[in-house]
Every structure is written in structure tokens, then in C-alpha cells.
Amino acid sequence: MRGKNLKVRLLIGVTIALFFIFKRCSQQQENPYTGRTQTISMNANEEIAIGLQNAPQMAQQHGGLHENTKYQALVDNVGNKLVNNSIAKTTPYKYQFHLLADPSTINAFALPGGQIFITYALFSKLENEHQLAGVLGHEIGHVLGRHSAERIAESEYWQGLTTAGSVGADMGGLINGIGQNTLLTNGRDDELESDELGVRFMLKAGYNPEEMIGVMEILKNAAGPNRVPEFQSTHPDPDNRIEKIKAAIEKYKKIQ
């Protein structure tokens, strides 16, 4: 009897695994803005909804929005200039730019659908508008590259296979388990793609993409001498990113 039950459970597990494998195959699609094939399980409206839903909590975690309206206006102006002069304008995403009050966390990040954030700690270290454009252009690249949506789909896939391996797990966890870590944790390839897109956006909007190198130096100095080696990190090393940015600048300057 126990052997029969084991066979039934194995059959159910295999069936669940096959379901998620076929589902993943059906979710393969080409990103019209980057040309890259991705696994995506949601449409643009769903991405926008996720971003809007999570934006207030993300702002709260960083001390809320900065009270200086002039600084916020600058962030808005630079961000909108990048969008309006690039392919980002042709996307269905609703880009909104937020300056966070956080004075100590040097960071910028994007949620699905166009919610983009930069902390005051990073903003205050930038030397000019071009560097601000480099930061915001990079984050627009994450949105347009659909990096969060791709990670959500991959998370669903691997959670599905885990469920197949332990039949009887709570299927509701497939959705509830997708938290903010999934939304914000970009891989090395995501970062490099966003850097390259940022270079393109800067050139189109009339900004100097060389200033992105200065941003990398700021990030490098902020990490200090004990920064995590690239092979142990989800992010490429700043020095590696600088070399890739230089190559992208040469590439896109020739086709401007």
C-alpha cells in the first residue's frame, strides 16, 4: 500500500513539474525594447499595479519623501527628460521619480511599471545633473528591461518545481512568497543591461554619458576597500561596470 501511495505522489509531482516547465516555455517572449528573450508571466498593467502597490512602503523604509521641493523638481525634470527623448516614451509604463529622505543609504532602485527612487544620501554625492541622469537612466533601464517581471516569473517557476518535489506544499505560497527581495534584487546581467540602456538614454537626452563613470566611482568609494568580490555578489564590480560603460559609449556615439 505504501508503495502504491509513493507511486501516486511521484506521478502527481511529475505532473506538477511538467505543468510548470510547459508554462515557462509558453511565457517566453521577446522584449520589444531590448530584443532580449525573457520569461514573463504578467502584462504591463500588472507590472504598473505592483509598482504602485509597493511604492509607499518602499518610501517609508527610507524615511519617506524628501521635503525639499527644489531637489524633487530637479529629479523630476531630469527623469522626464530622459523618458521623453528615448524609447522609454513609447512604453506603457507610468514613470514617476521619487527623492527619498534617507541620509545614509547610498542607493537608487526601480519597481516594476515605472516607480523610480533615489536616496538623498546618493543624490547629495552627485556632482552634476549629468550624473543624476546616469543614475535615473540606469533605473529606467531596469523598468524597460522588465527585470523585476522576469525575476517574478523565474521565482514562480522555481517555487513550482519545489512544490513538485514536495507534493502537498501550500500552492498559495507561489504568490505570497514573492516579496520585495524579488522586486529589488537584480543580477549582474540586469545591471550591465541597465548601464548600457542608461548610456543610450543619456545620449538621446543630450547628457554626457562619461559622467556615469563618476557615478561608478561614487559607488565604489561608498563600498570601501572591503567590498564584496564580484563572484560573491549579484552586482558586477564597479571597475567591470566602468569598462562596459566605456564600451557602450563608444558603440552608441557612432550610431547617434
38-67 pLDDT, tens digit per residue, is: 878 788 899 899 999 999 999 999 999 999
pLDDT digits (tens, 9 = 90+) for 215-242: 999 988 887 665 444 333 446 777 889 9
Sorted by where each begins, the domain ranges of the chain are 32-253
Task: Find the helix packing angle between 188-205 and 211-223, rounded to 10°.
Answer: 140
pLDDT band at 109 (very low <50, low <70, confident <90, very high): very high
Average pLDDT over residues 1-29: 52
Evaluate if residue 172 carries a pLDDT over 80.
Answer: no
pLDDT band at 25 (very low <50, low <70, confident <90, very high): low
pLDDT band at 185 (very low <50, low <70, confident <90, very high): low
Cell numbers for 255, please give them.
550610431
- Give the range with max mean pLDDT: 114-118, 162-166, 169-173, 190-194: 114-118
Handedness of CA 17, 18, 20, 21 (dihedral sign): positive
pLDDT band at 187 (very low <50, low <70, confident <90, very high): confident
State the pLDDT at residue 151.
82
Average pLDDT over residues 206-212: 97
